[in-house]
Chain A
Amino acid sequence: MTEVASPQELSKEDLLDAYRTMRTIREFEERLHTEFATGEIPGFVHLYAGEEAIATGVISHLGADDYVASTHRGHGHAIAKGCDVKGMMKEIYGKAEGLCHGKGGSMHIADLDKGMLGANGIVGGGPPLVCGAGLSAKVRGTNQVAVSFTGDGGSNQGTTLESMNLASVWNLPVVFVIENNGYAEATSTNFSVKGIDIAKRADGFGIPGVTVDGHDFFAVHEAAGEAIRRAREGGGPSLIECKVNRYFGHFEGDAQTYRAENEVENLRCEKDCLDNFRRRVASAGLIDEGELDRIDEEVKQLINEAVEEAKAAPDPKADDLLTDVYVSY
């Protein structure tokens, strides 16, 4: 693990933004967890709670025209990349005003105007896409950067491994973030990557790889800053493995009997990224806890509205079934 980075390096505004993003993700996910139980939310929902520091720490370095490719567990990346939270909620409810007009749902939330290339239902689907976005930046001569997020499980998918090599060979402005949350569905990382650091795989493709604590916003932020700077400056791709945990099941409905007793309870106590952040900025005297509490309230309000509006929003119409397949046909 890299050394723990310090909050002092960020402006107060950046710190508040980061906190608001992490809190928004948390609130979004916790609320979905509750709402899912009512049976009103259709389909598969994979929650990001517990992993907020990664999406936030990485994406806080990106501008609106940088690119992100995400996973099935994509809400956090989308929120951090600036997708409209209410549009996301409506999408998850399958409504016509959803970000994808109800056609995509939780697993396919995207907003190309925001550089969000999409959540992805295919494990390992995203890394090839960021190679393309990186190539595009390179050919068009911009200094955009493209970041993919992939799980520990997804790090075993050939598409992911190939992409690291392609990005290396083409020297692309790309960062591969591996979110190692210890499980791929019910299968432990100890089994599927033999418990070794996934960052090691970078060596085999000639790119830098580091492992950081994914609960620690500051550690992620520092490692990502370096990788993204390198990418922007033409220094090529790198890999960042973030060791982290998820708070909920693989998807909503998962009984999680593969986990240790009290595993999540302990994690919530000891490793929570929001608690950690609060403690760090408070003890450094940078932000008054009251300000953070206010953000909590505002976020709660926002998510409340998002859920209410999503529930009330109209369904797509029958004609929508056949549109949006082609630009022209």
Chain B
Amino acid sequence: MYPGLSLLLASEWTWEPSVLIGLLAVTTAYVLLAGPGRKAFRGSAPISTGQKTAFHLGTLALFIALTSPIDEAAETYLLSAHMAQHILILFATAPLWVLGVPDWLIEDVARRLPAVARFGRKLTQPMAAFGIFNVTLIAWHIPALYQASLHSDGVHILQHLTFIAAGVIGWWPVLAAVQDSVPRAPRSVQLIYLILMVFPGLGLAVLLTLSPRVLYPFYQAAASAGIDPLGDQEAAGILMWFTGTVAYLVPLTHVFYAWVHDLERADAAAARAAATAERSA
């Protein structure tokens, strides 16, 4: 079925020093923050284990994306491996990191740098976040830009950085724990937001899967390695399509039941208040 399997198994792990240093730095910073460093921030509470595991899982996902055989296969022939890499960044690392960041950290930073907080609040507005996430997603699929990222490492790193940034901004309205300085959207807006997020990815994935010709000439080389580039491109399209649908349905279920829970709690409180008011009147 999947044409690229043989090559994927053949490629080895790539131990890129710059990647390793970066990931190590991020992890140590977070561990310090969770441990002794917490006191440096006002109103800091101990970070729950759930948040810790979420953050480290995010870093692990990035590690797998950038150093496992996926990376080497992605660099050489397989569009589908490259797609898997970007999906790990956008749909694993970014959301898990947003989940892992404690709210008091952002509140304190916002208190210290109000200008940055205002800018952050503007960026993570649902409408803006939706635009940034999807425009970045679509922009990097334009053949000219994508070819550039394949040919030069600088552009490729820029691509990955923009994906991480767009991912964090895109998932912020839904997953951020923060309520005040750079708040997440209200539950009902999150519901609409997640429903609408399905469609841009869906359109892109459909065109990628059903395209009768290879969109990115770089991958013509895959034919020499005995892989049918069109089949590989189709597999990449399906991977994006499936993730795009499932990746939003899972948080959507959580958001829906959280929204129902909030509403029912508010309704019950209102009903009791009305009842007591009636009794006293």
Same complex for A and B? Answer: no
